[in-house]
Structure 1
């Protein structure tokens, strides 16, 4: 009798505890992984409350700084994006590294399955020309492995400590200029690359990654080609934003 009475007394209290939906837990896990990959490492994140981490990310993407995992925040972290880490409030990599040779040589190591070689070569040349149109830089295609910039289409774990994740989230990545090795631009070969809206537009991603190879970090301006997430626009109408032009000319003028 006593045990039954205790159950009846405590049952309403027990039922009052909120049950966190699985979708919410999944979203939180996704956010934490995203934040560790692109902002603070797990070790550094331990010094910041989850609310502070959310505000930091929202500040970078110029969202309302609610400190909650709200719908705009969930939407931005679910978008396909570049694999380069985000450096809040900076347009350049630390030390402002840049390529010192001119013309800038580039080589193409291999090609995606979804496009023919000639089309890929034309797209990469046009992407490079975007940056030469606003700087003194000129680009020159070479057929050797010691070019200033090397383009390759790779999948999964490809030996640089930044594995691709298959079709979906991470589209490509590039490394800042370094005097000890050539610039490297890697595209995820599991993506469906194209020159149109279908799939992932190679031209737009290539312009972005060449920007990294020249020394630009990510921009907080959503109109910039250096914004971290992929946003389709018609390549025939593409123009660099003022933010892009000011940043690249700061390095190369």
Structure 2
């Protein structure tokens, strides 16, 4: 069954200013064929996109990109090649059709690039396609509680519970239980609408914070399915929950397209954990010893 979240949620009014510049995905489509040396209006949107997801000046906040520069320089070319390499595309440094198709696909809001922290590199020998957050943050306990936010649709609770159960089963380490007080929960799950103060939601399905912040936000503007079967034209809420819970536990994105920690999922598709995801969580928490 598919639901439109607008029918479940009241309008959320942003009562404070939010400074992060936002890219325009539609403008990126008009830039096809651009390459180093090109100067075109709208190129700053490509820079914003690559900064937003960790490829351009990823040591800084995305809004530090100078949006007044619509020039395709060497730094942008290097960033685009890194993006193309991550997504197994032709790393030409030219904004071609397949690259644009990947960029405009709805995806997770977490950046893709990993830290070069030496401890992470050691851990990654067990799971070469799985990335971790800078510093490899993790929980110092294996039982975590979770709570749903105000107005979270009851129909969408079971898919999230199933996602937690899947992680508990494959990890052999974590256990999870639901509580009803958000203030006491380790993890909170809610729907948000648009610009809500902790990241640009443009073309984003959901995002979650690294340990031990414990926040998962779904984008209410998409058409969601409660599953457990795939629903054409709707995004599977359980599959996205599995992905975002991975972030809550400390996993970054994977370069394995079959992994739950791959950055995007098309509508009408159901996806669960695979070997890469399991190896990643075991490596991060030292469960391979």
8 Å contact from structure 1 (residues 155, 163) kept in 2: no
Residue in 1 aligned with 2:49? Answer: 34
Residue in 2 aligned with 1:96? Answer: 136
Structure 1's unaligned 5+ residue stretches are 1-21
Residue in 1 aligned with 2:219? Answer: 188
Residues 74-119 of structure 1: CA deviation (Å, up to 9, x unaligned): 111010001111114761111211122232110001345xxx40x2
Give me the whole-angstrom Cα distance separating, in 2, the residues matched to 1:140 and 1:177.
17
Give me the whole-angstrom Cα distance separating, in 1, the residues matched to 2:107 and 2:269.
18
Give me the whole-angstrom Cα distance separating, in 1, the residues matched to 2:264 and 2:45.
16
Give me the whole-angstrom Cα distance separating, in 1, the residues matched to 2:41 and 2:225.
31
**Structure (1/2) with the larger helix percentage:** 1
8 Å contact from structure 2 (residues 130, 276) kept in 1: no
Larger Rg: 1
Deviates more, 1:124-133 or 1:41-50: 41-50
Structure 2's unaligned 5+ residue stretches are 1-28, 32-39, 115-128
Aligned residues between the structures: 219
1:109 corresponds to 2:149:
yes
Residue in 1 aligned with 2:188? Answer: 150
Give SS of 2:52's match. helix
Change (3 A) 1:187 1:246: same
Residue in 2 aligned with 1:5? Answer: none
RMSD (Å), alpha carbons? 2.5
Change (3 A) 1:171 1:72: same
| Runs of 4+ residues over 6 Å off in structure 1 | 44-47
Residues 40-75 of structure 1: CA deviation (Å, up to 9, x unaligned): 246579984332121111111121211111111111
Give me the whole-angstrom Cα distance separating, in 2, the residues matched to 1:159 and 1:64.
35
Change (3 A) 1:232 1:131: farther
Residues 206-248 of structure 1: CA deviation (Å, up to 9, x unaligned): 111111000001111111111112235654xx44222111001
1:83 corresponds to 2:109:
yes
8 Å contact from structure 1 (residues 156, 164) kept in 2: yes
- How big is the shift at 1:156? 2.0
Give SS of 2:81's match. helix
Give me the whole-angstrom Cα distance separating, in 2, the residues matched to 1:227 and 1:80.
12
Deviates more, 1:35-44 or 1:130-139: 35-44
